[in-house]
Structures are given as structure tokens and as C-alpha cells.
A and B are shown apart, each in its own frame.
Chain A
Amino acid sequence: MDVPGLGQAFAAQLVRDLRLGFRHIGQAANPLVFFVMVTTLFPLALSPSPQLLAAIAPGVVWVSALLASLLAAESLFRQDVEDGTMEQLALSPQPLSLLLLAKTTAHWLMTGLPLVIMAPVVGHALFLPGEAVPTTMAALALATPTLSLVGGMMAALTVGLRRGGGLLSLLILPVVMPVLIFGARATDMASGGMETSGVLSLLAALMLLALSLSPLAMAAAMRISLD
């Protein structure tokens, strides 16, 4: 039997997930709301002094982005496993790794990309120097896919558990530490006027590593979770 090609299957899965996401826009916007909320709480809790805020801005932005993506990872596969549609994906003639990669891509478009777009606003609110904003956006654009992919891998592993929430954060956090370190460093260096291409390259390398390995790991983990 002629099975539709990989590109078609990827697109179909992506479109379905985006459509579902937009029907529950409130839920999809949760990580973004969290990101904005946490970053605006710092000036209120610490002090509105521009010097202090500019000094802590890189750390605040990156820790909030990381926590927002942790929050998002939990919902990545859970619904599909609960309503049984994941079984049908696992029984389709298409590679499960491809379909899960498409799901993760849709998830990133709805939860990761908004963080990148919101970064200038948040940066401005924290008195981040204007010249650091483009670098921060570039770094976030490279880092959030890694966060989504690692999150997807761990979510696939824990989705079979009834209360995997706490475990999920414990699994994700150690793995994404390099992303946090390089990301915050990139913003920090850019606000000091330093050359950041090295750090950005490292973030890009991490993303490519996650992109090439995590689909296979996600599929293997999902088959175990469905067993």
C-alpha cells in the first residue's frame, strides 16, 4: 500500500497540533504568562533601581525562560496518551519519531517562540541594555528548541506515570544546565559589549545535538510508556 511521504505526515501532525493548541489558547499561553509574571515580580520584590535590575536581568530572563519551558513540557504528550490518540500514532505506518518531532515542533511554536518574541519587552522592563536584546533573542531562539526537545524526551519517558510532574522537572533540569549557563552568559556578554558568536555557536550545537538524537529517544521512550 502507498503510504504518504514523511513530509506530508510531519505537516499533518504539525497542523493538527497547532489547531488543537489554538482551540485552547489559554492553556497554550500559560508558559508565556508565567515568563512575563516572574520577570515582572523581580523589580517589585527587589528594588526598582536600574543598576541592580540591569545586573540581574540576564539571570532573571534565563531562569524564567527555563522554568516556563519546564511548565510547558508536562502537557506535551499527556492528553494524547490519555485519550488514546497516541496509540493510533504508534500504530500508524509513519515513524513515531517523526510524528513526535512534529508534535514537539508545534509545541515549541506555541510555547517557546512566544518567549523569544516577548524577550525585548521583558528586557526593557529590566533595564537590559538595548545592545543585548538582539543577542538575547538569538540565544533564546536557539535555546528554546533544545528545551522543548529535551522536555519532550523526558515527557515521553514519564507520561505513563500517574504523577510524573515532579519527576519530570528533576529529569529535565540537569540535562538543560548547559543551555542555562551559555544562554545567560550570552546575554551577560552582550550587555558588556563583548563578542558573543562563540556562545551562540555552542547554543546552536546543543540544539542540533538535541534535534538529531531526541526524536529517536522520544519514540523509544513513548513505546515503553505505552506498553
Chain B
Amino acid sequence: MTESWKDARFEASGLELWRGDRRLFTRLDFATGSGELLHITGANGTGKTSLLRVICGLTLPETGEVRWRGQAVARSRADFHAELTYVGHRESLKADLSAVENLSFELGLRRELGADDMQDALETVGLARATDVPVRSLSAGQKRRVALARCLLTAAPLWILDEPYTNLDVAGRELVDALMTQHLQGGGQVLLVAHQNHGVRQSGTRTLEMS
């Protein structure tokens, strides 16, 4: 699997997006390849989340194109979505289902899980003991951790993270950094929106400042 991650390349060119009569960004170009992290920063309201939604294909840009493995995403959506995982600023979990139920449903749409994958992932994010309670009764930080477990289980090369540090304690923020580092070392790539600096200490990280 990691072999096919090596030549995966994400490119965005000439992106422009308007919201009402306000232009959020224009002529935005960037690209990431295997092992690279792009940190997108900027003040509130500069369109970071909108940019991520454009990248995922949830929002259509006015102009410009997003390409994955050289193919326009608009024309091969299913292939692209099979290889990305998105953590939005909401955790996208069903409050009435447990963490395990939530994750097994979502992963059921994506790939076959091994017997221990789920337990391993939940242990990695520090939720080994909160797997059977409804997500409703988890704390905000624990919900974030469930969303991070989803990232791990998806086993997708491209991680798109919108403020993953929100609601997490110090250990949780370190966990996010560790997971991203591990992912990059394994040949994955990360598009990260965060106000604070990330703690990934290796080459191949860049910053895009939105204004």
C-alpha cells in the first residue's frame, strides 16, 4: 500500500472562491507529495475551512482545479475520496452510537478491517476503555480522539485536518503531532489547518499563510 503512496501527488491550481460578494481567495496554487505536510494558517475568517472544503470536493470553486495523481478530482471523485480522510471542525459522529459502532459503520464503507485494527487504533488514541459508551457521553476531547482514530483506520494517504488540536489536552496535542509524523514517515501527506504551530519536526513541512 505504501508503495502506491510514493507517487501520489496532490495539486491545486488557480483556486478562487467567493462567498456572497466577498472573495475569500484567488489564484491559490499549492501541491504536496509523499511525506509532505502543508500547514495552512491565517486569521479567523480568511477562508481556511472553506479552502479545505474545496480541496475535499464538498464545495466547488469558482475557478481552478484540484488534482490527485494527475487526475482532476471533479471527474474521478470516488477514486480521490477512497484515498483521503477528512477531520472537520465537527467530529461527524452519531451521538447515540458508541465509538466502535460509529467507526465500524464508516470504515465499512471504505475497507475491510482486520480483527484487531479497531482496538489498536482506539488504544493508540487513548480510548481503549471508552469504546462501548454512546459518543454523547464522551467529552469534547474524547470525541476528537475518536475522529483521530478514524484517520488511522481509514489508511488513506491524504489526511485533511481542520483544527485537529481543538479541545485536546497537552498529551492529546502531542498525540496529533506523533500521528502526523508517523503518517508522513510512512509516505503519507497532510493538509493541516491550525492556528497554533504544529510539532512535526522533520523536513517536508511548509506553511501557507492565508490573508
Hey, which bits of chain A sit against chain B, CB under 8 A? 1-4, 8-9, 12-13, 16, 19-20, 23-24, 83-85, 87-95, 99, 226-227
Contacts and interface: CB of A to CB of B under 8 A. Distances in A.
Interface in B90-108: 90-97, 101, 105-106, 108
Contact of B59 (A20, A24, A227): A227
B111 interface: yes
B210 interface: no
Contacts of B94: 16, 20, 83, 85
B111 A2 contact: yes
A83 B95 CA distance: 8
A2 B106 CA distance: 15
Interface string B74-101: 0000110111101010111111110001
B110 A91 contact: no
A89 B155 CA distance: 17
B57 interface: yes
A91 B84 contact: yes
Contact of B78 (A13, A93, A99, A227): A93
16 contacts: A1-B1, A1-B156, A2-B112, A3-B82, A3-B110, A4-B112, A12-B105, A16-B97, A16-B105, A20-B96, A83-B94, A84-B88, A85-B93, A89-B109, A91-B84, A226-B58
B60 interface: yes
B56 interface: yes
**Range of interface residues on chain B?**
20 to 34
Nearest to A86: B92
A6 to B, nearest CB: 10
A4 B92 contact: no
Given A1-B83, A4-B109, A84 B96 contact: no
A84 B92 contact: yes
Contacts, number: 84
A180 B12 CA distance: 50
A93 B109 contact: yes
Nearest to A2: B111
A88 to B, nearest CB: 5
A214 to B, nearest CB: 20
A227 B58 contact: yes
A3 B111 contact: yes
Given A3-B82, A227-B60, A88 B108 contact: no
Contact of A84 (B59, B60, B81, B90): B90
Contacts of B58: 87, 90-91, 226-227
B134 to A, nearest CB: 9
A88 B86 contact: yes
A1 B85 CA distance: 14
A92 B112 CA distance: 14
By CB atoms of chain B within 10 A, which of A85, A94, A226, A227 has the most?
A: A85
B109 A9 contact: yes
A23 B96 CA distance: 7
A12 B108 contact: yes
By CB atoms of chain B within 10 A, which of A87, A88, A95, A99 has the most?
A: A88
Contact of A12 (B81, B90, B109): B109
B111 A1 contact: yes
Interface string B1-36: 100000000000000000000000000000000000
B87 to A, nearest CB: 10
Contacts of B106: 88, 92
A8 B110 CA distance: 10
A153 B123 CA distance: 41
Nearest to B92: A84
A16 B109 CA distance: 12
Contacts of B79: 93
A12 B92 CA distance: 17
